[in-house]
Structure 1
Amino acid sequence: MRFRLLGPLAVEGHDHPLRLDGRRPRAVLALLLLEAGSLVRVDRIVDAVWGESPPRTVRTQVHGQISVVRRWLRALPDVRVVTHDTGYLLQVDPSDVDVAVFRRLARQGRTLAATGQPVAAAEAYRSALTLHVGPPLGDIDAPFARAAATGLTDERLTVLGDLMRLDLAAGRHHELIPVLSALVERHPLHEPLWCHLLVALHRAGRRSEAVGCYQRARALLREELGVEPGPELSLAYRSLLAAEPAADPGADLTRTLSRLAEVERTLAEIRQQLSRLGLDAPTARSVGPTAPPVVSPRSDDGAAHVEVAA
């Protein structure tokens, strides 16, 4: 790609990055790239780059900044700024602009997911996310930049959430827990991330942590935005409360080992009693707690019975 906005503004020439000097021409180029293929009116450029108190000569300055941008783009003959009566239009192949490519991959991922192709959808989402190399428009100093960067970040988080949903469906909840925990710290008001973290914790059997996750998310949303959790997070929480507590994966093994140890202690006591009575005790080797009981095919009366295997 020749034009990058999902990080510091960068323009690639034929064999090296172009040097882009000047705060305002960089801002003008970034604005034209965000609206590539559409007419950007001069009034829009003034508001976006100069803000609420532009100088009286601002229209002349706009023409000057456009001239600078055109000089930068001379190295790219198939990219040009077209002048109209009311503004300017940047003609560029969308596949050369990272924002346009990101949005295309995001749409592709959603289509693949909706048509039952989760693996291909996840690949499209991951390809889209790799285009973000830093805070969007991170080095653009202009009034429009903050709102534009916030919008681009929200788009990234939406795609990331869609990818997390696919990974959860694929059973990757254990490995997603640390990733999601870090994400909600960085984006504490992004509700879908909290929802995915709650689900991941629940599926991993960490019920009390999942409840705490919901309570923390609810407190943040109420304190910062004055709202209650939305339908998706609320439904995930109700499902958590309605579900049976997930069993500890090691609980069954622990109970089995405990029972085997108890059987071994009982057999030792029987051998001691037989020895005190002067009777011969059957010879049996000590059994470790992990040895499973074995069912003998037949006993003396033809019925199956349980023996402790040596």
Structure 2
Amino acid sequence: MEFRLLGPVEARSDGRPVKLSGTKIHTVLGALLLARGRSVSYEQLSSRLWGWSPPSSMHAQIYTYIHKLRKHLGDDARLTRQHRGYRLDIDESRLDLVRFEELAQAGRLALDQGDHRTAATKLSSALALWHGTPLSNVSEHLAEIERPPLEEAFVSVTEQRVAAELALGEHDRLIPELTGLVGQHPLRERFRAQLVLALGRSNRQADALIAYHEGRKLLADQLGVDPGPELAEAYHAVLDDRCAPPPGPATT
């Protein structure tokens, strides 16, 4: 059985979703999976399910959700009761979040070592594990706690994948994607720096300078800061005609 958090919370058996009905049971499964084998207390489950307003029947309802999960997951997951909560033990290699983290770490290591081809492959494989908005079918109480760090991880790995592909000379292909990423994350300096560099390498210096100055104005107006070193360096590389494409794939 496989488990997913990087999209709707799911348990999958033989490639097919296990039928679990309703937001609440997906919230309980999501909270247990995110605990990575640690016990999740009644109080923690309650806060993820109902926030600050749990029903008087909190314990009975949680028990019902646990009972349903045991029934649907069967022997592929060990769902046991602890002193004041529950613990879910699974083979972590079957959790998409764990696989994402392993691939991302391997990709970052390859990037640090200058093996850009391997880095691009590993980081792309990590991102391919995502199936939409993470935790999209859980309660707002769980999502507001757990979704932001997951989304930040996705964006960070995307930045690293783009860095690897830029080092491989794929600037022309990356411009449309980077334009969209800058639109989605206008204050994210690394995406803008990568767009400036990609445009400069594609002999679109005027567009590169416009992208930089738009970012500089946004940073000043909304945050009251100047561009950081990476964005400033990309700008000066365009000005000084230092953003020629790399001579070839950079691998070790």
Shorter chain as denominator, the TM-score bin is 0.7 to 0.9
TM-score (norm 2): 0.87
Is contact 2:117–2:168 with CA below 8 Å preserved after alignment? no
Q: Deviations over 1:24-44 (max 9, x none)?
A: 111110111122222222222
The one of 195, 220, 230 equivalent to 2:218 is 220
Structure 1 224/143 Cα, relative in aligned 2: closer, same or farther at 3 Å? Answer: farther
- Residues paired across the two proteins, number: 244
Aligned counterparts of 1:245 and 1:95: Cα–Cα separation in 2: 44
| 1:233 Cα deviation from its structure 2 partner | 1.8
Aligned counterparts of 2:29 and 2:224: Cα–Cα separation in 1: 38
Other-structure match for 1:156 = 154
Other-structure match for 2:192 = 194
Is contact 2:48–2:139 with CA below 8 Å preserved after alignment? no
| 1:47 Cα deviation from its structure 2 partner | 1.5
Letter of the structure 1 residue corresponding to residue 203 of structure 2: G
Aligned counterparts of 1:211 and 1:133: Cα–Cα separation in 2: 35
Other-structure match for 2:43 = 43
TM-score (norm 1): 0.72
Is contact 1:8–1:135 with CA below 8 Å preserved after alignment? yes
CA RMSD of aligned residues (A): 2.2
Is contact 1:207–1:245 with CA below 8 Å preserved after alignment? no
2:16 aligned counterpart, secondary structure = coil
| 1:86 Cα deviation from its structure 2 partner | 2.6
Structure 2 portions without partners, runs of 5+: 245-252
Structure 1 portions without partners, runs of 5+: 248-310
Other-structure match for 2:247 = none
Q: Check if 1:63 corresponds to 2:56.
A: no
Structure 1 87/191 Cα, relative in aligned 2: closer, same or farther at 3 Å? Answer: farther
Aligned counterparts of 1:225 and 1:90: Cα–Cα separation in 2: 43
Other-structure match for 2:250 = none
Is contact 1:42–1:86 with CA below 8 Å preserved after alignment? yes
Structure 1 24/181 Cα, relative in aligned 2: closer, same or farther at 3 Å? Answer: same
| 1:224 Cα deviation from its structure 2 partner | 4.4
More helix by percentage = 2
| 1:88 Cα deviation from its structure 2 partner | 1.9
